[in-house]
Structure 1
Amino acid sequence: MHHASLEDGRTVFVKRGGDFTAEANGLRWLGSPSVEVLEVGEDLLVLPWLPSETATVPMVEETARAVADMHRRGAPRFGADWPGNIADLPLDNSPAEGGWRDWYAERRVLPYARMARDRGVLSASDVREVEAALHRAEQPEEPPSRIHGDLWGGNVLYSQGRGWLIDPAAHGGHRETDLAMLVLFGTSHLEAFLKAYDETSPLAEGWRERIPLHQLHPLLVHCCLFGSSYRESMLAAARSV
């Protein structure tokens, strides 16, 4: 990763040494409040250089309203038209039969539960607990929203008086997923963000009780990436569904 200057005087952030196609597709597809993609190549991604600032409550509230607007722009289906990734793991964006709950189970939760089992992080019994949670889960269906997909606090960059979204795992999904991710790992002035979001785009009753369902995927991803230190948190979420 590099801080560089262009001949026209602009300063940019350059990521090198990987395939950034999915990231660039996601940023362009999400639109505002995501950062602009200036250039993407075979092994580089060029973004504007945005010096970070301390988030204030007004900045957080404005960002929450922008995220709500992004969600409302919607998506043609659950998933995306490109293969995705989250951290170093592949992310299956292909369609699935049924509504969001079936798609979420088949494309987001179960593949990573099985991967964690195969890596020795979860037991067969643990995977059955995840499957049982999905079986009993209740989630009001909504049309697909245009979601970031990896919206923890580190992927909201505050600069130039506002928040910018970076490093997405973008796809058509359920908007509660983005909010559950913020709750899981925290962000600046979280309650102000959630309040401003709900005022802009009211959430279905009981959304806070459904947070553990939406946290299953990121917790399983962390089990796959970082091992057994996330196992108990994942099982607690499964048992809370």
Structure 2
Amino acid sequence: MQTYRKARHDAPAGFFDTEAAGLRWLAVDGGPRVARVLDVGPGHLDLERLVPGSATPSAARTFGRSLAALHDAGAPAFGTLPSGATEGFFGPLDDPLEMVAGSWSDWPSYYAEARLRPVLAQGRRRGAFDDDDDAAFDRVCERLPRLAGPAEPPARLHGDLWSGNVLWTTADGADETDEADEAALIDPAAHGGHRETDLAMLAMFGAPHLEEILAAYADAHPLAPGWRERVRLHQLYPLAVHAVLFGGGYISSTRRLLAELGGDLSSS
């Protein structure tokens, strides 16, 4: 088996252990293919090298169904990390942000306390956000119980499921007569969360055949009414992370989304 090595000699403590634990946790019966962990150490992670394939409509539908199975595998609570993960991280290898872990019984409380308020604090430290942003984040956090939709149990999330972390590969053992293409997951920020978060991340930068994925997902596990109106809510945290890491237009985009979601509390 060919090996792909991710390495950073000065990686934050626990970074690669957490990624390896996440990949193992995501490998569930009926779920998507997940890159296999071959070896892990403080400064490296060795994975199987995946053979590139094609993002076909058939592979997209299979991925949608298998993603629903992954989410349905569940998690102990909102905010919990996989067994063996020592810290939570979100972002690129060269500058990952700390991702708060813990145990929350409901998604609005978790999203406010483990995602939105921490990313605001990270942005204040790096100069991306200011006092006005404090107030805007507060308004959204206050509205979360009304914005969140019907309560759901915690799902088993990939956690950073933008299209670049879904590799379209050739299935193990496939030949030219088979449906040879499938999706494989890499680079997770795995945790217990809301299943709509992974779907919103797929939409954030445009996954191939997204509507095929979503339709097959909904056939396997129907989504709660109004889920499309909540996509932007679930995209707020990763958008704010981009504002913290990269600045520029991501800051203005985050502020527009905060204003959109914050609304007028006196009339809501």
How far residue 117 of structure 1 moved from its aligned partner, in angstroms, is 2.3
2:224 aligned partner: 204
- Superposition TM-score, scaled by structure 1 size: 0.91
The 5-angstrom pairing of residues 1-241 of structure 1 reads 10-17=1-8, 18=11, 19-31=15-27, 32-33=31-32, 34-81=34-81, 82=85, 83-87=87-91, 88-96=96-104, 98-137=105-144, 138-139=147-148, 140-160=150-170, 161-241=181-261
Do 1:215 and 1:237's aligned partners in 2 also have CA atoms closer than 8 Å?
A: no
**Matched residues, percent identical?**
44
Do 2:68 and 2:217's aligned partners in 1 also have CA atoms closer than 8 Å?
A: yes
Q: How large is the RMSD of aligned CA atoms in angstroms?
A: 1.4
How far residue 217 of structure 1 moved from its aligned partner, in angstroms, is 0.7
Secondary structure at 2:3 match in 1: strand
Do 1:149 and 1:177's aligned partners in 2 also have CA atoms closer than 8 Å?
A: yes
How far residue 95 of structure 1 moved from its aligned partner, in angstroms, is 2.1
Secondary structure at 2:141 match in 1: helix
Runs of 4+ with deviation above 3 angstroms? none
Secondary structure at 2:37 match in 1: coil
Unaligned runs of 5+ in 2: 171-180, 262-268
Secondary structure at 2:151 match in 1: coil
Unaligned runs of 5+ in 1: 1-9
State the one-letter code of the partner of 1:66. S
- Superposition TM-score, scaled by structure 2 size: 0.82
How far residue 80 of structure 1 moved from its aligned partner, in angstroms, is 2.3
Q: Deviations over 1:169-226 (max 9, x none)?
A: 0000000000111111111111111111111110000001111111111011111110
State the one-letter code of the partner of 2:4. F
Structure 2 CA distance for aligned equivalents of residues 174 and 60 of structure 1: 21
How far residue 228 of structure 1 moved from its aligned partner, in angstroms, is 3.2
State the one-letter code of the partner of 2:252. E
